[in-house]
Amino acid sequence: MVHLRRAGLVADKEDVERLRVQFANAHVVRLPALLEPQLLSQALYLIERGNWRERERAGFYRESVLDTGPAVNLLRFVSNSPKFLEVIGEITATHPLTWFDGRVYRMKPSGDHTQNWHEDSIEGRLIGLSLNLSPRGYAGGLFQMRDAKSHRMLLEIANTGLGDAFLFRVSDDFQHHVTDVLPDEPKTAYAGWFSAQKSLKQRLSKPIDQSAPPLA
């Protein structure tokens, strides 16, 4: 198993090797219960007390995004631990990874929020991660990946376990999106990408490109 704790990462060598083989074959792998219960509870507490804003790019996506604050900073801190970056690099054969960054987003049900097909292969992004932070569960909101040229569907994931995550390969060869969320509960997730370029400090010192595509 691979578990993130405030005190550091717990990762079994045999599980890491098993996940490495799975990722090499399927370009995606699940990380069940990635956040330890105490860390998950703290993240959920902070998320519900954060400030949300609407983010939209016409014809592309519409969602709510949590402002950077205690919740985002906590998740950013634990996901940038050197050991976690090292293990994700081993699983995906993309090491040495230097940083992870993302956002907490929320998709409301009944088509209020949408996300169309896109690629994430900009700014040196190599691997995507999506972590489910929906305490009351949700329906729909499926992650789908397809071949960029033929549009042949490659996989579909319903990541509905609270605290569960999955990794997926970022490449010009693949496109992905999240389907509409069904009534009655929204989908909340921490989604971002791993890179081998620069550092997180350098990344955050640059103005955010608001035209950049969203993440799963």
Per-residue tokens: 71? 């919740």
pLDDT over 50 (residue 139): yes
3-state secondary structure of 180: coil
Looking at domain 2-205, its CATH superfamily turns out to be q2cbj1_9rhob like domain (2.60.120.620)
Please report, rounded to a whole number, the percentage of residues in the chain having pLDDT higher than 70. 89
pLDDT over 80 (residue 49): yes
In this predicted model, what pLDDT tens digit does every residue of 84-105 receive, in sequence order? 999 999 999 997 999 999 999 9
What is the average pLDDT across 176-188?
93
Please report, rounded to a whole number, the percentage of residues in the chain having pLDDT higher than 90. 73
Neighbouring residues of 95: CB distance < 8 A, sequence distance ≥ 6: 85, 86, 89, 196
Q: Is 93 exposed, middle or buried (CB count within 10 Å of its CB: 0-12, 13-18, 19+)?
A: exposed
Q: Angle at the Cα of 165 (from 161 to 171), degrees rounded to 5? A: 140
What pLDDT is recorded for position 211?
40
What is the average pLDDT across 44-54?
96
What pLDDT is recorded for position 6?
80
Enumerate the domain spans of the chain: 2-205
Q: Is 189 exposed, middle or buried (CB count within 10 Å of its CB: 0-12, 13-18, 19+)?
A: buried
